[in-house]
Amino acid sequence: MHLLFRSLCVLLLFAPGFVDRSSAAGGAFPVESNLKAGVAKVDITPAEVKDLEVVGHRRKVTGVRDPLRAGVLILDDGQTKVAIITLDLIGAYEEIVKLSRQEIEKATGIPAANIMVTASHNHSGPGFTSDSEWGKTLIKKLTAAAKQAASDMTPVTVGYGVDEISFGINRRKVINGRAVVRLNEDGPNDPRVKVLRFDDGKSLTPKAVLMHAVCHPCFFTWGDKGSMPYPTGFPKMSADFPGEAQTFVEMCYGNQTSSLFLQGCAGDIRPNLPGYPYRCADEADIQWAGRDLGSAVVRTLSRSMIREELVKRPKFYQIRVANTVVSLPGKEGRIDAELQALKIGPYLLLTMPGEPMVEYGLKLERDIADRAIPIIVGYANGYIGYIATEDAYQVGGYEPNRSRLTAEAEAIILTELSLLADRVIGDVFESFSKHPKDVQKREATEKARLKQK
């Protein structure tokens, strides 16, 4: 069914009378910018899938519904180079981060500390071990993709827009002072889709697309006995809704662009699939979600190209990066976690290495929104499990109970991310002061940052 759908889409694209207007005459526009970008994507699906156990909700699969992919976006403002890596995997585990940073730094010269490694949190993909054949192949493919992206750097401007999806829902409800598993339409949620497009001006087709949304990619995982035909989970490997959406966006541009997915604070947000307590998705569900997200992205991409929006784009984009490793209070001892801030012109990405509940993103945005355009990313640069809010520990439930952290961790994370934002936004006196002591302190901090990764 899935292959038939894709075949029909390809036939439609090249059918008489169908014109890809994005590359038609008149679509080109001048690009005046200091920013350069290069992008590449690579298939990272394991070669052997039969009876392979996928992670997230563990189950064995017998084949592949759609490919798993990785994307590498490299950006250069003339002084600073960074890379953003996206993976259709359950997590950006520490081993993946360490090895990919190490090899990509060797291959491209991008400092390891300037490389952001993220995962969609896909529950229908393989686990990672560095000594497995697939694990070794993954690192090689990421390195090759980074080299490809670095070899095709062109000047770009950046467009931005926001739309919404309809399929995410909070999965916690407090009843009589206790949190239970429940699809809760009244619970905290963030349905927004944030979209960055990188344009080289050659046509209305973007060179690269970064989409950011908030929802667990667990459409195809465990259902319940009342939801046939997949009560034990979908029997094939898949990139879930982020993969479906990326494919949809690329299809709309005649496969002449590369789309990459960033996961937000989705710790307590899941697909709205009612059941006992919820069911496994089928083909109709995944098409709904993939096209819902993909359509929101395409709408945003298209609107950001009209002349009134195009003239708003900056001509100068400064890249600034900051990292820190914080020691967080855990239930069984201290836990180290890397936090990162990456600013590209007015756009600020802040990362956490695990599954932050949706309130983290909302709180950070409220604090930063009038200083930069915030995009809060979970599942990046490591994985420490659930990052629950302090309030969640008062009522319990799945996320705080499964978390390795204690309630006191929230205040530390929010404070440290705020300090990182100060460093890269550059509107705090110490971040731009020309006083010799301030300059020396900044230089020492940057030297230590680049050395520690």
Q: How confident is the model at residue 453 (pLDDT cuts 50, 70, 90)?
A: low
Mean pLDDT estimate for the chain: 93
| 386-387/258-263 β-pairing | unpaired
Q: Burial, 18: exposed, middle or buried (Cβ in 10 Å; 0-12, 13-18, 19+)?
A: exposed
Amino acid (1-letter code) at residue 177 = G
User: Which bin fits 78, alpha (ψ -120 to 50), beta or left (φ > 0)?
Assistant: left
Worst-scoring range by mean pLDDT, 165-179, 294-308, 429-443?
429-443
Q: How confident is the model at residue 227 (pLDDT cuts 50, 70, 90)?
A: confident
Q: How confident is the model at residue 284 (pLDDT cuts 50, 70, 90)?
A: very high
Beta-strand runs (E) in 200-334: 208-213, 236-237, 258-263, 269-271, 319-328
The per-residue pLDDT for 404 is 98
Phi, psi of 35 (to 5 degrees): -85, 135
Coil vs helix vs strand at 114: helix
| Percent of the chain with pLDDT strictly greater than 90 | 83
Structure tokens at 24: 């038609």
Q: How many Å apart are CA 413 and CA 420, to the nearest integer?
A: 11
Is 0.75 surpassed by the pTM of this model? yes
- Of the candidates 96, 85, 91, 94, the one whose C-alpha atom is nearest the C-alpha of residue 134 is 96
User: Which bin fits 163, alpha (ψ -120 to 50), beta or left (φ > 0)?
Assistant: beta
Sheet hosting strand 52-56, strand order edge to edge: 59-61, 52-56, 124-126
Peptide bond into 271 cis (omega under 30): no
The per-residue pLDDT for 397 is 96
The per-residue pLDDT for 428 is 84
169 beta partners: 270
The per-residue pLDDT for 216 is 98
Say what angle helices 240-252 and 2-13 make with each other, to 10 degrees.
20
Whether 17 has a pLDDT exceeding 50, the answer reads no
Coil vs helix vs strand at 361: helix
Q: How many Å apart are CA 282 and CA 236, to the nearest integer?
A: 11
The per-residue pLDDT for 2 is 53
Whether 450 has a pLDDT exceeding 90, the answer reads no
* pLDDT tens column, 35-66: 999 999 999 999 999 889 999 889 999 999 99
Q: How many Å apart are CA 424 and CA 343, to the nearest integer?
A: 6
Whether 4 has a pLDDT exceeding 60, the answer reads no
